[in-house]
């Protein structure tokens, strides 16, 4: 059965972005969040994103209006009806995600798919909290979702070929390119990216170069659009630390140990752009 109605759980930046690209693809979307205020902000973010695309001529007015009409909101995901596909995009808290997946298990139609946007939590463990582990998959969008082309698909131990094929088709319908990863800590992107950002923290801590010199060296020396310390600020240093800890614990190799400087900045509440201070001041 084709995917026509999806539920996106979590109305933050990632959830709103996923909902927006689904709406642009012509899908009916229910955005769910326990916070009424968060839900209102998420819906406004989506409408603003669609309006900007229309103003730039990338989305005609009829499709913009249709996309807005296809958006509905809920504060209790258990009230969702006729759901073909669910994408969970809440904070990286495994207990919270497992509870949400138990709720989604009850509202997504038989044969429907439960996907998680997690960047680090094992898909196999999340799947084990449901009665349909074969229908659970990782669908890791990149931030900001409307702009970034990649979706990382992660197959848990029980994920079926049909679940993978349906999820890949949905991602492609949303205009994304997919890669597939095994269910190991960090998956593909963060397995490679987070150690690089963490090593930049070690380099700064050891006085190898200044913040600006480290970032300029990597931008101009390796043709990256943003230096690693600035990128860490944009991701959130608390998030970088969390994923580094997942890699260190999950893989058991000392090369993944988080930089003490990174940990100190997080302890100070210097999370990066979102808090106004990280390696740079905002």
Annotated catalytic residues are 119, 140, 152, 190
Q: Which residues are annotated as a binding site?
A: 10-15, 33, 92, 97, 119, 143, 274
Q: Which residues are annotated as a binding site for NAD(+)?
A: 10-15, 33, 92, 97, 119, 143, 274
Q: In terms of C-beta density within 10 A (0-12 exposed, 13-18 middle, 19 or more buried), how is residue 36 classed?
A: exposed
Q: Tell which residue, 209, 205, 211, 187, has the closest CA to residue 257.
A: 205
Helix (H) or strand (E) holding 230: helix 228-235
Contact status, residue 244 vs residue 256, Cβ threshold 8 Å: yes
Residues paired with residue 246 on neighbouring β-strands, in sequence order: none
Please state, in angstroms and rounded to a whole number, the distance separating the CA atoms of residues 51 and 275. Answer: 28
- Which residues make Cβ contacts (< 8 Å) with residue 220, sequence separation at least 6? none
Contact status, residue 159 vs residue 139, Cβ threshold 8 Å: no
Handedness of CA 178, 179, 184, 189 (dihedral sign): negative
Please state, in angstroms and rounded to a whole number, the distance separating the CA atoms of residues 20 and 65. Answer: 13
Chain centroid, CA 58 distance in Å: 24
């Amino acid at each position: 059965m084709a995917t026509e109605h999806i539920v996106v759980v979590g109305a933050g930046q990632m959830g709103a972005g996923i909902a927006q690209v689904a709406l642009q693809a012509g899908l009916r979307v229910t955005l769910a969040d326990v916070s009424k205020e968060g839900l209102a902000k998420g819906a406004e973010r989506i409408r603003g994103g669609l309006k900007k695309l229309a103003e730039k001529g990338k989305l005609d007015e009829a499709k913009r209006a249709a996309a807005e009409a296809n958006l509905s909101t809920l504060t209790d995901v258990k009230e969702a009806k006729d759901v073909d596909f669910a994408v969970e995009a809440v904070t990286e808290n495994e207990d919270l995600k497992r509870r949400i997946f138990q709720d989604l298990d009850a509202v997504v139609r038989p044969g429907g798919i439960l996907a998680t946007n997690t960047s680090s939590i094992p898909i196999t463990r999340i799947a084990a909290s449901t009665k349909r582990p074969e229908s659970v998959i990782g669908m890791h969008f990149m931030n900001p979702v409307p702009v970034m082309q990649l979706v990382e698909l992660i197959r848990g131990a029980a994920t079926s070929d049909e679940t993978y094929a349906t999820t890949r088709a949905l991602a492609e319908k949303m205009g994304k390119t997919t890669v597939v990863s095994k269910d190991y800590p960090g998956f593909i992107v963060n397995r490679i990216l987070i150690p690089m950002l963490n090593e930049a923290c070690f380099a700064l801590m050891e006085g190898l170069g200044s913040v600006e010199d480290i970032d300029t060296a990597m931008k101009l020396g390796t043709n990256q659009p943003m230096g690693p310390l600035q990128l860490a600020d944009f991701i959130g240093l608390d998030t970088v630390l969390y994923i580094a800890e997942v890699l260190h614990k999950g893989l058991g190799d000392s090369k993944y140990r988080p930089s003490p400087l990174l940990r100190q900045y997080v302890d100070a509440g210097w999370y990066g752009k979102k808090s106004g201070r990280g390696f740079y001041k905002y």
